[in-house]
Amino acid sequence: AQRVTQPEKLLSVFKGAPVELKCNYSYSGSPELFWYVQYSRQRLQLLLRHISRESIKGFTADLNKGETSFHLKKPFAQEEDSAMYYCALSGTLTGKLIFGQGTTLQVKP
């Protein structure tokens, strides 16, 4: 079965603290993993994708096929990072984009 699991509903950190949002997946073929973000009163938008190996707004994510994980990390959280984050998956076995349950990141001043 194709599935994305985000175990934390809410992650609350202080400004300047490191952040790690967890994402685990289940997929039989070659997956493509993404992180999407939704800021308050804005539409859902792409943050980053694993194939690009990019850092966006200081966030990085590495695909670990052995652990089937794609955790999102940032060394120093900022207040403007407060948002809902969704991990998503697609790949060669499907035309669908499958999302996890979402994690709300709250960065306190």
Binding stretches for other proteins (CB under 8 A) = 6, 9, 32, 36, 43-46, 49, 51-52, 86, 88, 90-92, 94-102
Q: Residue 67 Cβ, how far from other proteins at the closest point, in Å?
A: 21
Smallest gap, in angstroms, from Cβ of residue 43 to other proteins?
Answer: 5
Name the minimum Å distance from CB 88 to other proteins. 8
Distance CA 43, CA 100 (A): 17
On whether the CB atoms of residues 52 and 66 are closer than 8 A, the answer is: no
- Tokens 């039989």 label which residue? 28
